[in-house]
Amino acid sequence: MKFKFLLLCLLAGHVTFSQWEKLDIGTSASFRSMDVFSKKVVWAGGSNNTVIKTLDGGKTWQQYTVNPEIALDFRGIKAIDKKTAIIVSAGLAEEGQAKIFKTVDGGITWQLVFETKEKGVFLDGIAFFDKMHGLVIGDPIDHQVYILETKDGGNTWQRMSSNLFPKTKEGEASFAASNSCLVTYQNEAWYAFQSRILHTADQGKSWEILESKFPSGATSGIFGLHFWSKNDGVLLGGDYKDDKTKQVNFARTIDGGKTWKTREINPQGLKESAALSGEKLIVTGTSGTSISPDYGKTWKTIDTEAFHVVRCAGKHCYFIGAKGSFAKMRVK
């Protein structure tokens, strides 16, 4: 069943979006990871061992069940092309859930390329510098940063030396909420904990800690990052246990994350993911979706339905969330 809502709205700064379209993707799995390879090719990873893919911009979907022997929740995904993708399972390693899989045949078969049962390992997300060099992040163990690295396109993974990183603080971890606590831009990468950000400018050879001063706690903090240059970026967040109330949920940087200017954007509540379509900034979360024509200075509410992830390819933007919720939008 297909639901279409045509919303022809004039936004602040003469910004319009032509069509906000909610689609049935044929599954009730919950999705916290999505990667848009092109305006038509989209991959997403979800609960219940579920991976889905569309080749026609969301009109039809192919669904794959990966490793059904144990319940897995794929909260990290990287689309290399329409046939190649890498997925990351979030969950306790000691319960067999810390796994990485790769497909090269469009999802028909999946190869287990990494697994560990080391106590405390919990994988949160994945990002690549290029087709060969990528990183997977996990929660710190014994105050040591946990990052896996591949230099062969995801075929093999090794943990990076803890000597590269400063020690983490008590209780610091990442939210595996939208596969955007780790993001890359050219040679740069940013990796968010609750309020602090680990940064590299040389593809992981050296790292530094950046202080965002974003409000944080056991259930609150940074849920997502997005950078469109080595200087310009945003972070999203809030409190997932109080996700509809008035709270700081957005911050902007113009110096690569060294300093941040925080604010509250509507609809009020938790924001988890951001994407840029042309010069239009789009954010989403369980509190709803908003668009800005001026990189976060002013905002217009698009919808109040909950989504976890937004990703764009040019003017084509896609949204996914719990219980198979999915929408797409073409931004003018």
pLDDT at 171: 87
Cα separation, 204 vs 47, whole angstroms:
30
Q: Is 152 exposed, middle or buried (0-12, 13-18, 19+ CB in 10 A)?
A: exposed
d(CA 128, CA 153): 9
Of 17-31, 34-48, 262-276, where does mean pLDDT reach its minimum?
Answer: 17-31
Q: What is the model's pLDDT at position 26?
A: 94
Question: Does the pLDDT of residue 5 top 60, yes or no?
Answer: no
More confident position, 3 or 26: 26
Q: What is the pLDDT of residue 18?
A: 54
Give the confidence band of 1 by pLDDT, cuts at 50, 70, 90. very low
In whole angstroms, what is the distance from residue 225 CA to residue 146 CA? 19
- State the pLDDT confidence band at 77, using cuts at 50, 70 and 90: very high
- Residue 233 belongs to a domain with what CATH number? 2.130.10.10
Mean pLDDT of all residues in the chain?
Answer: 93
Residue 86, strand partner residues: 78, 102
Instruction: Output the six-digit token pair for 262.
Output: 């925080």
**Confidence category of residue 3, pLDDT binned at 50, 70, 90:** very low
pLDDT tens for 150-191 read: 999 999 999 999 899 999 998 899 999 999 999 999 999 999
State mean pLDDT over 233-260.
97
Count of domains for the chain: 1
User: Which is nearest to 311 in space by CA: 273, 267, 280?
Assistant: 273
Query: Residue 10 has what pLDDT?
Result: 36
d(CA 197, CA 182): 9
Euclidean distance between CA atoms 248 and 143, whole angstroms? 27
Distance of alpha carbon 189 from alpha carbon 180, whole angstroms: 11
pLDDT at 19: 80
Mean pLDDT value across residues 133-139:
97
CA 301 to chain centre: 21
Residue 229 reports pLDDT greater than 70? yes
Are 196 and 209 in contact by the 8 Å Cβ rule? The answer is: yes
pLDDT at 69 exceeding the cut of 60: yes
- Residues spanned by the domain of 246: 3-331
Q: Give me the mean pLDDT over the 185-214 stretch.
A: 96
pLDDT at 221 > cutoff 60: yes
Query: How many angstroms separate the Cα of 277 from the Cα of each of 225, 264, 324?
Result: 15, 21, 24
pLDDT at 16: 52
Residue 317 has pLDDT above 50, yes or no: yes
pLDDT (average), residues 133-151: 96
Mean pLDDT of 9-38: 78
What's the whole-number mean pLDDT along residues 108-121? 97
CB 262 within 8 A of CB 255: no
Q: Is the pLDDT of residue 220 over 70?
A: yes
Q: pLDDT value at position 332? A: 86
- CA distances 118 to 122, 141, 286, Å, are 9, 10, 32
**Residue 117, pLDDT score:** 96
Give residue 96's pLDDT: 96
